[in-house]
A and B are shown apart, each in its own frame.
Chain A
Amino acid sequence: MENEELIAMEVYCDHEGVEVSFVEALHDRGLIRITTVKEQRFIDPEHLSRVEKLARMHYDLDINLEGIEAISHLLERMEALQQDMRSLSERLRLYE
């Protein structure tokens, strides 16, 4: 992975008004990935939109970390179910 593609965690937090501890907690819970290069921590750019989404849940919707963790798992399942539903309705159309 190219270093310049990584987002310095402190820069992001400072700009977005998000606490560093919040991003660390997301990482600790396995919800996002933080990479450490030469003692500096970076957010994987692939995970940046996820960090933004989880930060909205926390700061805008007042959902605590435990809630965010549970919601994240449920959302994953929900998206998989939506996918299943799409392919099932396609199959059902065969019998229409």
Chain B
Amino acid sequence: MATDYYKTLGVERNATTEQIKAAYRKLARKHHPDLNPNDEQAKKRFQEINEANEVLSDPESRKKYDKYGEQWKHADQFEAAEKQRGSQQARGGFGGGDPYGGGGYGGASEADFADLFGGMFGGRGGRQVKFRGQDFQAESRLDLRGAYKTHKQTLNVNGKQIRITVPAGVEDGQTIKIGGHGGPGTNGGPHGDLYITFRIEPDPKFHRVGKDLYITETVDLTTALLGGTLTLDTLDGAVKLNVAPETQNNTKVKLKGKGFPVYKKEGEFGDLYVTYTVELPKNLTEREKELIKELAELRNKA
């Protein structure tokens, strides 16, 4: 889709450089990622604003953009083609061929565009080179069981293998910083940092809320009525659970310390909450029906 840089900044086509600068700053103050942490939409919007500003604030680029629109970056190629066409026409009037049609303009890709705007937080005075190296962002996906135990993980970041220790209890969306594993600095500046955001896949059985785990367990009718024991698989292995007599449907019990490990607090665990779902028997035999009828009569008399 065509992008109108003037519209992006909300200025007229004949806006002065000062007006463009003021419009950019106003929008940047609203959408800059520094002021909108963890907001992907703001980041995207800011990139558009920044791109528009990069082009319109530079008189040369702006002139090309005004003439060629979105394809302004290939202005030199257009002009060369135009010149060539002019000379062909002068020689024998071949003309005709549309130099802009069909075949593209030398295969510039999205990546070229991105390169141009790569320094989206340009330094003072338009310098793009930063003293401190660039920060890298990476994402690591884990299942719930993977986040339960401290373990080592090898990540591929920009072609480099980095071995990290993932502490038990890491949360979904949590970002950890690995100092000095970003891009190199310049003029003796330090390396940037590597930020790893963890995504924890939901587990079909256990639901995690912070350090606590929630699980629903089925109990048959007789165990619910008379009490008994059942074996429950926790993330830490099987545990025997005593079910109290006359346990009601949706009763919640807490197993202290059987929840999730607390991040960076070794030996500390949350709790496990078990909600019982009492399962009513199906396909009753005649004998069972008789006994239940008997029970019903007894209950009615009482």
Contact = CB atoms under 8 A, between A and B. Distances in A.
A45 B132 CA distance: 10
A49 B209 contact: no
A2 interface: no
A80 to B, nearest CB: 11
Contacts of B209: 87, 90-91, 94
B181 interface: no
B34 A82 contact: no
Nearest to B21: A62
B37 interface: yes
Interface of chain B: mostly helix, strand, loop or mixed? loop
A5 B180 CA distance: 11
Nearest to A96: B207
Interface residues on B, range: 20 to 34
Given A12-B131, A86-B173, A90-B208, A56 B121 contact: yes
A91 to B, nearest CB: 5
A79 B123 CA distance: 26
Nearest to B208: A90
B214 A94 contact: yes
Interface in A14-45: 15-18, 45
Nearest to B189: A15
Interface in A37-61: 45, 48-49, 52-53, 55-57, 59-61
B69 to A, nearest CB: 27
Interface in B73-88: none
Q: Which 9 A-B pairs have the closest CB atoms?
A: A17-B124, A15-B131, A90-B209, A91-B209, A61-B29, A53-B34, A62-B25, A16-B131, A48-B132
19 contacts: A7-B189, A11-B188, A12-B131, A15-B189, A16-B123, A16-B130, A17-B124, A48-B190, A52-B132, A53-B34, A57-B32, A59-B124, A60-B122, A61-B28, A79-B37, A86-B172, A87-B209, A94-B207, A94-B209
